[in-house]
């Protein structure tokens, strides 16, 4: 049944988009109640508005901390109109009912992100607004709650098309969104009290988007130089750190170069200088403006070579004084020291549609012991090590992906393609363009090959060993091709999709 909006309590921090709503409500005969700045806004539009102070017979007190916390407000919101007892009490205490509550919340997260003082942040903890939202949402059987300005256009469309009335399903949807609003708000406050912090970014992924980082980067890095990290920098730094976590010190020094969240250069060598030289050789074009990371030390010799390239961020475990002095010549460069023993979140959370997807971090990495040979020819020890190397990269590269490697060096990868055939062709073309000899190289994928087409293409390019994550002995067509053409294939028990 539709509930006419005969009276409305409106008290909002942001006034954007409010004007057409209050005008539409007034045109439908809705009585408007409000406080402070919102009441002044409504009255400046030439519309009548009842002051909450006149209803409660109490002024706004304590610097505005207490305005609506009164039985004459909450009684009118929470009354169960199907109960005679509730209606009798409303009449006894002269409490009007409220069919609509429009309230948003003080900008707590924005104040934190903007570097507000502790006292400013505390003052942006909304009390009355949260209480009004929860009360109206609880009593959605009789009351509509609009708790976010993002809902304004939808709400306006409803009241204009339905003569200022909403049905139960619509009220329940607004109520559900209201509890999501208060839950997120309380979570942000809790995180702030627990010591979590927010950092305002220059902008988001693009200049027209706002961006904020919520977390404490000081637990991961010591920053020794450079401008503030941007939204895109942080995405690439995250990709670099996750990839670096795949490589142990025992295997050697590994240098990675990240561009747009994917590796464009990786090599493991006996020294940082050799690792840098071979990582850069993978794709010196894409490396321009990239994010660099090494699980080792930056000395003067390494710094001198890196200094020849324009880059955004360099991550290392330590720097010599000479290296720091050399790299400091360009003040905007960001130099980070990666702390030892860092702990990354065990779960990954991303917004999807009108909710969130949460999953465990992909923490499993395969070693040669996890690779089961399924062909007559088994990989050599050197090939197994290259397959392990390639599989680490495939795990941290956007699907669909193919990674080609040899001698613990990335030769090329195909990333983010709609088919693995496309990814493989992209990788082969790129490797050839940069002069790599694919004869004797290995190939890794993020998942199994349902058809033999990829191994056929790989064979013609000179690739001699293949790993299929999540494959099985049922993939007989691929196995048969490998057997007939002298290729080695191993399978592992899991796949590594990454979107």
Nearest to 257 by CA among 229, 276, 230: 276
User: In the structure encoding, which two tokens stand for residue 177, read together?
Assistant: 């969104």
What is the rounded distance in angstroms from the CA atom of residue 25 to the CA atom of residue 445?
59
Whole-number Cα distances in Å, 290 to 203, 376, 442: 19, 42, 26
All residue ranges of the chain with pLDDT < 50 are none
User: In the structure encoding, which two tokens stand for residue 413, read together?
Assistant: 């990868």
Q: In terms of DSSP bridges, do strands 144-146 and 402-405 run parallel, antiparallel, or are they unpaired?
A: unpaired
15, 72, 138, 372: the active-site residue: 138
What is the rounded distance in angstroms from the CA atom of residue 366 to the CA atom of residue 238?
21
What is the pLDDT, as a whole number, of residue 57?
67
Q: 72 φ, ψ to 5°? A: -75, -15
Burial label, 406 (beta-carbon count in 10 A; 0-12, 13-18, 19+): buried
- Residue 290's H or E segment, with its range, is strand 290-294
Secondary structure (3-state) at 460: helix
User: In the structure encoding, which two tokens stand for residue 160, read together?
Assistant: 């204009």
What is the rounded distance in angstroms from the CA atom of residue 51 to the CA atom of residue 39?
7
Region for 115 from its dihedrals, namely left if φ exceeds 0, alpha if ψ lies in -120 to 50, beta otherwise:
left
Q: At a CB cut-off of 8 Å and minimum separation 6, what does 21 contact? A: 102, 152, 155, 156, 159
What is the pLDDT, as a whole number, of residue 1?
65
Displacement of CA 341 from its chain's centroid (Å): 23
What is the rounded distance in angstroms from the CA atom of residue 221 to the CA atom of residue 317?
9
DSSP conformation letters of 135-178: HHHHTTTT-EEE--GGGHHHHHHHHHHTTSEE-HHHHHHHHHHH
239 near 258, Cβ under 8 Å?
Answer: yes
* Burial readout 249-288 (b: 16 or more C-beta within 10 A, e: otherwise): eeebbbbbbbbebbbbbbbbbeebbbbbebbbbbbeebbe
Q: 319 has which bridge partners?
A: 298
What is the pLDDT, as a whole number, of residue 197?
67
Q: Report whether the peptide linkage leading into residue 400 is cis, meaning its omega lies within 30 degrees of zero.
A: yes
What is the pLDDT, as a whole number, of residue 456?
96
Residue with structure tokens 């995250």? Answer: 238
What is the pLDDT, as a whole number, of residue 216?
81
138 is catalytic: yes
What is the rounded distance in angstroms from the CA atom of residue 31 to the CA atom of residue 29?
6
Q: At a CB cut-off of 8 Å and minimum separation 6, what does 178 contact? A: 133, 134, 136, 137, 145, 147
Largest CA distance in the chain: 93
Whole-number Cα distances in Å, 58 to 31, 130, 392: 20, 20, 66
Half-sphere exposure of 270 (CA within 13 A, CB side): 0
260, 297, 372, 378: the active-site residue: 260
34 near 10, Cβ under 8 Å?
Answer: yes
260 is catalytic: yes
Burial label, 92 (beta-carbon count in 10 A; 0-12, 13-18, 19+): exposed
What is the pLDDT, as a whole number, of residue 66?
67
Secondary structure (3-state) at 360: strand
Displacement of CA 457 from its chain's centroid (Å): 36
What is the rounded distance in angstroms from the CA atom of residue 439 to the CA atom of residue 346?
39
């Amino acid at each position: 049944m539709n509930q006419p909006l005969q009276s409305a309590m409106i008290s909002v921090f942001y006034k954007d988009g409010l004007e057409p709503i209050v005008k539409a409500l007034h045109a439908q005969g809705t009585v408007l109640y409000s406080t402070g700045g919102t009441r002044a806004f409504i009255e400046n539009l030439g519309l009548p508005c009842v002051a909450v102070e006149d209803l409660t017979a109490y002024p706004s007190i304590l610097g505005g901390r207490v305005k609506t916390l009164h039985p004459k407000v909450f009684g009118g919101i929470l009354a169960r109109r199907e109960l005679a007892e509730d209606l009798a009490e409303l009449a006894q205490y002269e409490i009007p009912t409220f069919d609509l509550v429009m309230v948003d919340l003080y900008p707590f997260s924005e104040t934190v992100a903007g570097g507000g003082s502790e006292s400013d942040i505390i003052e942006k903890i909304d009390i009355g607004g949260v209480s009004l939202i929860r009360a109206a949402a609880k009593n959605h059987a009789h009351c509509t709650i609009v708790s976010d300005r993002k809902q304004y256009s939808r709400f306006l469309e409803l009241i204009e098309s339905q003569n200022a009335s909403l049905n139960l399903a619509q009220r329940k949807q607004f109520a559900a969104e209201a509890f999501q609003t208060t839950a997120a708000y309380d979570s942000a406050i809790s995180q702030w009290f627990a010591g979590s912090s927010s950092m305002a970014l220059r902008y988001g992924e693009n200049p027209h988007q706002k961006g904020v980082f919520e977390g404490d980067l000081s637990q991961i890095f010591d920053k020794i130089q450079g401008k503030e990290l941007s939204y895109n920098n942080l995405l690439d730094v995250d990709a670099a750190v996750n990839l670096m976590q795949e490589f142990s010190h025992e295997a050697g020094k590994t240098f990675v170069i990240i561009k747009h969240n994917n590796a464009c250069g990786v090599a493991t060598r006996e020294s940082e200088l050799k690792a840098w030289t071979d990582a850069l050789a993978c794709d010196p074009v894409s490396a321009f403006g990239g994010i660099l990371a090494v699980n080792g030390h930056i000395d003067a010799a390494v710094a001198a070579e890196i200094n020849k390239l324009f880059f955004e961020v360099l991550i290392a475990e330590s720097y010599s004084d000479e290296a720091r002095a050399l790299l400091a010549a360009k003040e905007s460069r960001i130099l980070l020291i990666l702390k030892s023993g860092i702990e990354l979140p065990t779960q990954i959370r991303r917004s999807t549609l009108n909710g969130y997807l949460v999953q465990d971090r992909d923490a499993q990495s395969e070693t040669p012991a996890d690779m089961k040979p399924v062909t007559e020819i088994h990989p050599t020890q050197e090939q197994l090590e290259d397959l392990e190397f390639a599989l680490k990269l495939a795990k941290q590269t956007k699907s669909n992906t193919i990674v080609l490697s040899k001698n613990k060096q990335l030769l090329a990868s195909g990333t983010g393609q709609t088919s693995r055939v496309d990814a493989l062709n992209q990788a082969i073309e790129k490797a050839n363009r940069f002069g790599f000899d694919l004869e004797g190289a290995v190939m890794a994928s993020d998942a199994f090959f349902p058809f033999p087409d990829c191994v056929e293409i790989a064979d013609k390019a000179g690739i001699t060993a293949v790993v299929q994550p999540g494959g099985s002995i049922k993939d007989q067509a691929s196995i048969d091709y490998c057997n007939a053409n002298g290729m080695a294939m191993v399978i592992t028990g899991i796949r590594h999709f990454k979107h």
